[in-house]
Structure 1
């Protein structure tokens, strides 16, 4: 496939402003490939970056007015190989992880590349080799992007492009369960918040053998999708006391709780529905400070884990479950737009127009 010299992209202007632009098609360096982007999903973190900036960090500051291209949940085909790359061939279909750590700090060397201590230090004379596409380097709202080979995951031939973009979301769910204890067969799991990460956490937990899997939310249409993804019990938090019901179901509280809502109420519910010695994953970004009942967590010897992204090669493992049809990730894909209509796609995702859950955009080539 021929590679052009320039490409259409979207860049971030002032807060909330996306602009059409053109940029040179980047060249892959050593250990990198050029990905011809075929589809990119819109994540809640993209909405946060576009509106407010963090967690994006460009040249050590907020990403506005710096010719920065956001977007990170994308898939495509390998268009060109950098020096030293023989693991992939031009034309291979791939999905991507976001983070490629620097490989030299103590976090990266222990496998925690999503917590790279050189996060954002990838410019000019201080280039440490770190890359987080759509966060600290140009992302996927474009026709092409460069990715390190360590971030690539092969896409099965039978899997559609839109579904393949969801591997990053499923990978985040997988990473949360990995940090909570890995194999959860026979353990009880509660997921709070039926957004994309929460819904796919249900599918991943069920695929790993968790029992029962309980989903807590307030929107009936999303609770129904949770049931289709494998939830044994769904609870509408507006209609029942979810904490009391879960303690009734489990007898002692849940072994694992994933909070995918990120509100003060949901974090405290997670603490109070967790069993003594249980584990809680904070998988959403809270907005501002929260008042949390840490006394209850400490007295009951609970473990709280914050996760960032999709570490420990979780996207590859999630993709394996998706390829084996252990759960149907495509259930959360609701809308597809042309990349030319990105602002409208953003509006659908942000405002949940037409019950939008996961919105995908496709570049033209």
Structure 2
């Protein structure tokens, strides 16, 4: 019997609380902003894959873009609408079934997940840049190159179960809560940004623009890696305050003061060694360029919504390096998890609201409209 013919029942070898049902609940994307909670067959893991019971999944701003506009999701070579597609990508859970060839994890292991497995065969994947896989979205029909990016090109986490390649799994410490573990992907994105910029932050000055989830955890990661000073630029007092709790040495209110001038003054007129822009607006990209030191580095960690007119001449003349990142590459989630497990920062400070699976539409509204100062909204798919 081939793996494709193997049934869920034949994969079961678990305690009763980890038994795998034949069906599960999952949200399916129809037209833009149209989600339906459906019952579908529980997926079966293939070679080098496991079935993860999703215990917590966080909502990301990119999920909102996928649900309303489509990109960067790509299903069957096109937009994800009306293709039986489940979005959601920042999740953790418990291994409840394993496909052939899996001996790295056992039934009952708690894991966080990276989004991207990549195809494993293109030049980018072979060099470790699997989030930049040149076969992105090619996992269907005669175009199947084996690429996987759960919640973008393959089934995501707004469901009770999902299949993950073992390369995407990160062990979760016993003492860590489900909600905290689900935030490891967010922290991993910040970690990836610093990795691409060089990664050696000890004693270097860092500015983070935009105290959203990625920006707030970028502050935490930078501080944990020894950066000094770490400044956070934002416009919401409550989020700046959380940034202070996560390690920011300097909080800059972009509405009441000139952020560029403040950073210049803070660094003796030189500018910051590293700037991570987590806002993605024309204004913040230009601020990043002008507050960065000569020979400094800028990470663009947010997706701009449209074209941006930027002072590229200043960046070139001052030998400033610009890095764009996608996702959580180069095992960044594993490294972020190590910092979290060691207690180097408390990621739960950005977790503000929790909903059950059936309440996803309301959870999305909280995230989109920032209801009740929502920052990171987490779903519990098993409830």
TM-score, reference length from structure 1? 0.99
TM-aligned CA deviation for residue 125 of structure 1: 2.2
Looking at structure 1, the residues matched to 381 and 117 of structure 2 have their Cα atoms a distance apart, in angstroms, of: 24
TM-aligned CA deviation for residue 24 of structure 1: 1.0
Counterpart of 1:91 in structure 2 is: 108
Deviates most, 72-81 or 122-131: 122-131
Counterpart of 2:178 in structure 1 is: 161
TM-aligned CA deviation for residue 123 of structure 1: 1.0
Looking at structure 1, the residues matched to 284 and 25 of structure 2 have their Cα atoms a distance apart, in angstroms, of: 41
Contact kept, 8 Å, 2:54 with 2:382, in 1: the verdict is no
TM-aligned CA deviation for residue 4 of structure 1: 1.1
Counterpart of 2:305 in structure 1 is: 287
Counterpart of 1:133 in structure 2 is: 150
Give SS of 1:361's match. Answer: strand
Residues 295-346 of structure 1, C-alpha deviation per residue, up to 9 Å, x if partnerless? 0000000000000000000000000000001010000000000011000000
Give SS of 2:53's match. Answer: strand
Residues 158-215 of structure 1, C-alpha deviation per residue, up to 9 Å, x if partnerless? 0000000000000000000001111210000000000000000000000000000000
Match of 1:174 among 191, 201, 206: 191
Counterpart of 1:146 in structure 2 is: 163
Looking at structure 1, the residues matched to 317 and 362 of structure 2 have their Cα atoms a distance apart, in angstroms, of: 48
Q: Which runs of 5+ in 1 are unaligned?
A: none
Counterpart of 1:324 in structure 2 is: 342
Q: Does 1:70 align with 2:87?
A: yes
Give SS of 2:139's match. Answer: coil
Match of 1:43 among 60, 83, 87: 60
TM-score, reference length from structure 2? 0.95
Looking at structure 1, the residues matched to 145 and 78 of structure 2 have their Cα atoms a distance apart, in angstroms, of: 17
Looking at structure 1, the residues matched to 328 and 382 of structure 2 have their Cα atoms a distance apart, in angstroms, of: 28
Looking at structure 2, the residues matched to 230 and 212 of structure 1 have their Cα atoms a distance apart, in angstroms, of: 10
Q: Which runs of 5+ in 2 are unaligned?
A: 1-17
Looking at structure 2, the residues matched to 158 and 20 of structure 1 have their Cα atoms a distance apart, in angstroms, of: 32
Please, what is the CA RMSD of the aligned residues? 0.6
Counterpart of 2:364 in structure 1 is: 346
Give SS of 2:187's match. Answer: helix
Counterpart of 1:335 in structure 2 is: 353
Give SS of 1:311's match. Answer: coil
Looking at structure 2, the residues matched to 364 and 227 of structure 1 have their Cα atoms a distance apart, in angstroms, of: 34
Looking at structure 2, the residues matched to 162 and 117 of structure 1 have their Cα atoms a distance apart, in angstroms, of: 32
TM-aligned CA deviation for residue 124 of structure 1: 1.9
Counterpart of 1:275 in structure 2 is: 293
TM-aligned CA deviation for residue 57 of structure 1: 0.2
TM-aligned CA deviation for residue 126 of structure 1: 2.0
Give SS of 1:279's match. Answer: strand
Q: Does 1:204 align with 2:221?
A: yes
Counterpart of 1:260 in structure 2 is: 278
Give SS of 1:131's match. Answer: coil
Counterpart of 1:312 in structure 2 is: 330
Counterpart of 1:79 in structure 2 is: 96
Looking at structure 2, the residues matched to 249 and 229 of structure 1 have their Cα atoms a distance apart, in angstroms, of: 20
Looking at structure 1, the residues matched to 102 and 199 of structure 2 have their Cα atoms a distance apart, in angstroms, of: 31
Looking at structure 2, the residues matched to 44 and 10 of structure 1 have their Cα atoms a distance apart, in angstroms, of: 17
Counterpart of 2:12 in structure 1 is: none
Match of 2:317 among 299, 303, 308: 299
Give SS of 2:368's match. Answer: helix
Residues 247-275 of structure 1, C-alpha deviation per residue, up to 9 Å, x if partnerless? 00002000000000000000000000000
Contact kept, 8 Å, 2:209 with 2:275, in 1: the verdict is yes
TM-aligned CA deviation for residue 364 of structure 1: 2.4
Counterpart of 2:3 in structure 1 is: none
Q: How many residues align?
A: 365
Contact kept, 8 Å, 2:277 with 2:285, in 1: the verdict is yes
Looking at structure 2, the residues matched to 284 and 121 of structure 1 have their Cα atoms a distance apart, in angstroms, of: 24
Counterpart of 1:111 in structure 2 is: 128
